[in-house]
Amino acid sequence: MGQIKLTPTGFKYYEYDREDPQFAHLKNDYKNGKYIIVEKDTGKTVASYDSDLHRDDYWHAEKPLPHLLTCLKDVFKVEPGATYNDFLHALQEETFYGVIDKSIAARLQYGYWNYQGDHIPDILTIRQHADTSTGFFQLVPETNGPTPVYYGDLPLTVDPNLELFGIPVNCEFTFLEAIHSLLGLDPGQIRVQKDGFYDEDGIAKVDPMEHLMHYCEFEPDVTLLDIFNMVGHHGLLKHFLSIYSNAPHINAYHRAAREKPHESIDLHYLEVSEVGEIYHKKKYSSFEFGNPDFHGIGPLDPSEAEYYDEHPEKERPATSSMAIEFYHPSVIAHLPIRITTEYRIWNYGQGREEVFVGKKKFTLLEALDAIYDEVTFFGLPSNAADKLAEIREQIDGIKEKLFEETDEEDN
């Protein structure tokens, strides 16, 4: 993950770079709990960081600015002195798709922020707010600015601090979240049916590029192959996902899904779901969220069933989840997709504490990204089978070694 920073002269891009030509690798000094950076020629330590600091406090190297579409998942930062107008003009220099382009134009034309307030602040600050009032957990961007008044020249800041169920945590904005927040895009609803993307009533077809940040619902009969077909017939959406979901071989997966499957798999359906996790370090706590998982749901695995047979005090699940990135697309293409809204947040302190049980809505982009990021994980469809065979061989080797060790102990 990189970092994109707004400056008064535009965007700058940084990467967490361990291999700058001038320096040796970033080394972990476990004994003292430090990361150290050593100059290659002299061996001199040029920097030392606590190993539990946030990643953005580590050493970064500035890189040439890539196309902004490739930076949407990166952390968004603001250099002191940069303004809201700087943000709009920097965005205007790049080509986006759909609603983002239209919103940039509208903000540049009218120059006001679309949130309520009763005073003009000295600095425009955006932050996350956790809303659980409806039983759904959603992080809602908020600002301290008024409407309708022109204040595009106000300095802009991003506040990563969030109090979550009484726990102060660090909650960074991604670049896409910042765009969504600063352009004041209101989330709507989009329905995914077997033959395309529709409005929330399921009547009129809509352009998915203008609804990526809208909450989505999938009809029960929508399969993975249906999604591949829909995306494949929409050139801009396919191109966007190939970049955003790191799926450069997206066409190969679309073709492979239409092939005759060479094996079967015992799964009921494919599922998009997510959990939130709070982790604690010495100097900060972080909230890990926004990374939906895509996996298969099938009958309870025999090994799991055996475990619950031996532990009747444990609640026995009815199904098992299975990683699907190891399987050829044709094997799972026929399976329907479910969006599971059940959502839990776990606090990992002294142990694991459940701090929230409720529901969460997924945007269309979150759902599509989860699907493509998982299915195309190994690059090409043929790579997945090779990787599965490799892992199975490793497992067999471990089992054989354990058997030999057990046999030696018995003798």
Length of the chain: 411
The secondary element (H helix, E strand) that includes residue 359 is: strand 352-359
Which band of pLDDT confidence, cut at 50, 70 and 90, is reported for residue 46?
low
Q: Does residue 75 sit in the same domain as residue 161?
A: yes
Claim to verify: residue 91 and residue 177 sit in the same structural domain: yes
Q: Is the dihedral of CA 369, 373, 374, 380 positive or negative?
A: positive
Strands, DSSP E only, in 203-328? Answer: 215-218, 269-273, 276-280, 285-288, 293-299, 319-322
**Do residues 244 and 383 share a domain?**
yes
Distant-in-sequence, close-in-space partners of 96: CB < 8 Å, separation ≥ 6: 68, 69, 104
| Domain end marker among 148, 167, 182 | 182
**Most confident residue range from 23-27, 83-87, 185-189, 245-249:** 245-249
Q: What is the pLDDT of residues 254-287, one digit of tens each?
A: 999 999 998 888 999 999 999 888 888 766 788 8
Q: Is residue 407 part of a domain?
A: no
Quick one: average pLDDT of 400-407? Answer: 65
Please indicate, yes or no, whether residues 212 and 170 belong to a single structural domain of this protein. no
Average pLDDT over residues 330-341: 95
Handedness of CA 400, 406, 410, 411 (dihedral sign): positive
| Boundary-marking domain end, from 159, 182, 205 | 182
Token reading at 344: 């839990």
Neighbours of 189 (CB within 10 A): 14
Domain that holds residue 288: 189-390
Q: What is the pTM of this model?
A: 0.80
Q: Are residues 91 and 240 in the same domain?
A: no
Residue with tokens 């609603």: 99
pLDDT of residue 268: 95
> Could you tell me if residue 140 is inside a domain?
yes
Is 164 in the same domain as 205? no
Q: Is 239 found in the same domain as 158?
A: no
Residue 30 reports pLDDT greater than 50: no
Q: What pLDDT shows up at residue 28?
A: 47
Amino acid (one-letter) located at 52: D
**Strands (E) located in 105-230:** 124-131, 138-143, 156-158, 161-164, 167-170, 189-193, 196-199, 215-218
Instruction: Tell me whether residue 201 is in a domain.
Output: yes
Q: What's the domain count of the chain?
A: 2
* pLDDT more than 90, % of the chain: 29
Angle at 360 between CA 359 and CA 364, to 5 degrees: 145
pLDDT computed for residue 129 by the predictor: 78
What's the pLDDT score for residue 326? 85
Does residue 293 sit within a domain? yes
Residues 161 and 203 in one domain: no
Say which range, 117-131, 138-152, 377-391, has the weakest mean pLDDT.
Answer: 138-152
For residue 27, pLDDT over 70 is answered with: no
> Looking at 33-37, 94-98, 248-252, which range is the least confident one?
33-37
Give whichever of 26-40, 158-172, 232-246 has the largest mean pLDDT: 232-246
The answer to whether residue 224 scores a pLDDT higher than 50 is yes
* 253 domain-assigned: yes
Average pLDDT across the chain, whole number: 80
- Shared domain check, 71 and 206: no
Residue 283 lies in a domain: yes
Let me know whether 176 and 258 are in one domain. no
Q: What is the pLDDT of residue 190?
A: 94
Same domain? 200 vs 106: no
Domain membership of residue 411 (yes or no) is no
Residues 163 and 229 in one domain: no
> Considering 182, 210, 228, which residue would you say is the last residue of a domain?
182
Q: From residue 289, give the alpha-carbon distance in Å to each of 61, 204, 209, 273, 276.
A: 26, 32, 23, 11, 5
The H or E element spanning position 274 is none
Whether 274 maps to a domain, the answer reads yes
